[in-house]
Amino acid sequence: MISGLISGIMGGTYIMRFVLCCAICFLLAAGGIARSRRASDGVQPGDFDYYMLSLSWAPDFCARTDVHTDARECGPDRRLGFVVHGLWPQFENGAHPSQCAPARPVGRDIVERTLALIPGEGLIQHEWRDHGTCSGLSPAAYFDTVKRAYETIVIPPEFRQPASHVELSPQQIEEKFAAANPRFKDSLRVACGGGQLSEVRVCMGKDLGPHVCSSHDVECPADRIGMLPVR
């Protein structure tokens, strides 16, 4: 009787361990699937509607205390104004694909060429991993497209090297960019934070021509924002 009881307990323990093992395997598999879905959202590289070129205002980024800055962008001798944050594939419904394919590190030669546009190696690698892999292009072709997109846009003269703090409405900033880039007058968005300009964003077609921004591409809600001077 005792041996039967022991056998039953051992058998029950084995079954419990088996069930627990199956549960753990299921959770790990589900987690892997969930991570995969979050990474690509089922989107194939190249399957998107338009690009958004994000131009970051370096003086604002470099003044922040909650981010890691790079001396290439924020060093005392750099004196940068607008730099490229990224070129992001977008959908008209407001979604934006991310990490659409496995990403290998961007090659050193491409990084060196791109630092003149995106002044931080970490950001270059991030932009390729999160956005470039959704473009359907190779790393070299993607960053060449970033360069061509940036060179398409004219920075208004008064925004190239302002020596003092400027205060404007988001609409005024868009108007000045539109005056310098008439074809893109319906393709502009201003992003802000903490009462300061953080980015100007330009919606572009896959051919890098003008594209009307989606209604989901939000505007800076502030009445007036500052532009920190270049230093």
- Please report, for residues 142, 152, 215, the alpha-carbon distance to residue 179 in angstroms, rounded to integers and kept in the order given: 28, 14, 22
Element (H, E) at 121: helix 121-130
Range name among 36-45, 101-110, 153-162, 212-221 with the lowest pLDDT average = 36-45
**Cβ neighbours around 180 below 10 Å, total:** 15
Same domain for 159 and 197: yes
Same domain for 159 and 194: yes
Nearest to 216 by CA among 131, 93, 96: 93
pLDDT for 65: 78
Look at the chain and report how many structural domains it folds into. 2
Same domain for 92 and 36: no
Q: Residue 124: inside a domain, yes or no?
A: yes
Q: Residue 100: inside a domain, yes or no?
A: yes
- pLDDT tier at 41 (50, 70, 90 boundaries)? low
Is residue 10 scored above 70 in pLDDT?
A: no
Q: Residue 45: inside a domain, yes or no?
A: no
Same domain for 82 and 19: no
Contact 56, 48 (CB under 8 A): no
Q: Residue 59: inside a domain, yes or no?
A: yes
Element (H, E) at 15: helix 2-40
Q: Domain range for residue 95?
A: 50-227
List the beta strands (DSSP E) in the chain.
50-57, 82-90, 166-168, 188-193, 196-204, 225-227
Amino acid at 108: R
- pLDDT tier at 89 (50, 70, 90 boundaries)? very high
Same domain for 60 and 110: yes
Same domain for 222 and 165: yes
Same domain for 100 and 21: no
Average pLDDT (147-162) is: 97
Same domain for 116 and 148: yes
| CATH assignment of the domain containing 57 | 3.90.730.10
